[in-house]
Amino acid sequence: MGTTFNFDEWLDAADPCDAPNVNGLVEAVESECDFSGYRAERAANGKLIVSAQGLELKLVLASKEAEDGFVRRIHARFVSSGTSADIAAAIDHLNDHD
């Protein structure tokens, strides 16, 4: 099981391919919980460890700044400008039911 501090390396491997998965990842990180196949768990040393179901690679977020930066990077890569991940997931859900 490998670890990385590189946001893009981990996101490339995890590949949250649609708006609900992106929202699940953001929710897991912000709430330090299991959500939609993602887990963010605080280690004894204070670092936040992010993992994805079926993925061996773990992302280590060593500080609050890294946590915030990771969420910003998720939004920059996967969410339309000016939209939050939860709104994008809701729009995606509505579009699927039209």
Question: Any idea what the Cα angle at residue 57 is, between residues 71 and 16, rounded to 5°?
Answer: 45
Arithmetic mean of pLDDT, 57-74 = 97
* Interval 60-74 mean pLDDT: 97
Quick check: 97 pLDDT over 70? no
82-74-33-20 Cα dihedral, nearest 10 degrees:
70
Contact at 8 Å (CB) between 40 and 26?
no
> Does residue 58 contact residue 50 with C-beta atoms inside 8 Å?
yes
Question: 58 pairs with which residues across the strands?
Answer: 3
Global pTM exceeds 0.85 = no
User: What digits encode the pLDDT tens for the residues 2-36?
Assistant: 999 999 999 999 999 788 889 899 999 999 999 98
